[in-house]
Amino acid sequence: MAGPEARAAAPLVALEAITVRYPGAARPALDGVTLTLRAGEWVSVLGANGSGKTTLARVLAGLLVPDGGEIRLFGERIAADQASTGLRRLRRAVGMVFQNPEAQIVAATVEDDVAFGPENLGLAAREIEARTDAAIVRMGLDGHRHDEPARLSGGEKQRLAIAGVLAMEPRAVVFDEASSMLDPRARRRLMGEMRREHAAGRAIVHITHDMEEARDVPRIVVLDRGRLLYDGTPAPFFEALAAGRISPPGLLPPFWVRLVAALRAEGFPVEPERWEAEAVVEAVWRSFSNA
Ligand SMILES: Nc1ncnc2c1ncn2[C@@H]1O[C@H](COP(=O)(O)OP(=O)(O)OP(=O)(O)O)[C@@H](O)[C@H]1O
Ligand SMILES: [Mg+2]
């Protein structure tokens, strides 16, 4: 996924020392998280259950006002009250696709559902129609315009949710474990849609607890119990996992990382050139032939 993100891009949303406390919770869901999302980049967010991924997503998308810290949109500070215009601008700039597509359906037909967002932006009728149409076609739902959303398959429902978000023309889209309820085929298709939106210039925040999905992305952010554990390219993180320097509880390393760790423990000096299955197999092969 090398490409647009390789160029230095302007900050879209900058979070500074963000803290979120849910009422009655023993510890903060986010604890001093500082993070910048740049225009057009791809970030995969990893973390165990309860590490704060969804909370982070909701802060990024302007759906949750943090208890502490600052948010900047295009470099400009956003006031922290629900009614602020800054928060409304943040919601327009960053769309969010949730885990459960059912939760996002608001209208009785596919077309009306996609049109709902642009209608709320107060756009001209022609513009609403154009955006709705483009988003439906883009998500391959052309044949379902007049269908009831409830009758769509899981994958189609999720594409409907994405079409609704795209019709708002956000600069970034957060996918919060959006593929986790889909079968493998629909999941691959969803990843394809995400890549295509990224190639079209949109920033993508891809939240997953499956590290396998994040092995060849340009940037990963890892949360551990509400704190930022890692922010950078995946390779050093996988190396640290294989070397046992870090072991975030609840986050299962990909099998090839565990394989390298196990073989090293047995005395085989496995040094993969890249942290992905094929390169690991090659490195295992090398270390065995030298043994
Ligand atoms: N509405 C809420 N009220 C109280 N506590 C909450 C609420 N939502 C989340 N939490 C708590 O905040 C922490 C972070 O939750 P969050 O949903 O952000 O984690 P997550 O990484 O998205 O988890 P998962 O992988 O299960 O989706 C958890 O300890 C969770 O129990
Ligand atoms: Mg979550």
- Residue 234 CA to ligand 2 centre (angstroms): 21
Cα angle 212, 60, 197 (rounded to 5 degrees) comes to 55
Q: How many Å apart are CA 73 and CA 272, to the nearest integer?
A: 39
Of the listed ligands, the closest to the CA of 47 is 1
- Residue 222 CA to ligand 2 centre (angstroms): 13
pLDDT at 5: 46
Please give the number of the atom of ligand 1 that sits closest to the Cα of 20: 12
Tell me if 55 CB under 6 Å of ligand 1: yes
* H or E stretch covering 96: strand 94-97
**pLDDT tens track for 124-167:** 999 999 999 999 999 999 999 999 999 999 999 999 999 999 99
Strand order, beta sheet including 94-97: 94-97, 172-176, 203-208, 42-47, 220-224, 227-232
Amino acid identity, position 269? P
Of the listed ligands, the closest to the CA of 46 is 1
Give, using CA atoms, the residue closest to atom 7 of ligand 1. Answer: 22
Q: How many Å apart are CA 95 and CA 98, to the nearest integer?
A: 10
pLDDT at 7: 52
Pocket mutation for ligand 1, best pick of 27, 30, 53 (most atoms within 8 Å of C-beta): 53
* 3-state SS assignment for residue 46: strand
Indicate where the chain has its CATH 3.40.50.300 domain(s): 4-232
Tell me if 25 CB under 6 Å of ligand 1: yes
Below-50 pLDDT ranges, the chain:
1-6
Please give the number of the atom of ligand 1 that sits closest to the Cα of 48: 25
pLDDT at 287: 87
Q: How many Å apart are CA 162 and CA 215, to the nearest integer?
A: 24
pTM of the model: 0.92
Give, using CA atoms, the residue closest to atom 6 of ligand 1. Answer: 22
275 vs 23, 183, 279, CA distance in Å?
Answer: 40, 26, 7
- Residue 55 CA to ligand 1 centre (angstroms): 7
The structure tokens 């070397």 sit at 243
What DSSP designation does 78 have? P
> In DSSP terms, which residues pair with 96 in a beta bridge?
174
Q: Which fold has domain 4-232?
A: Rossmann fold (3.40.50)
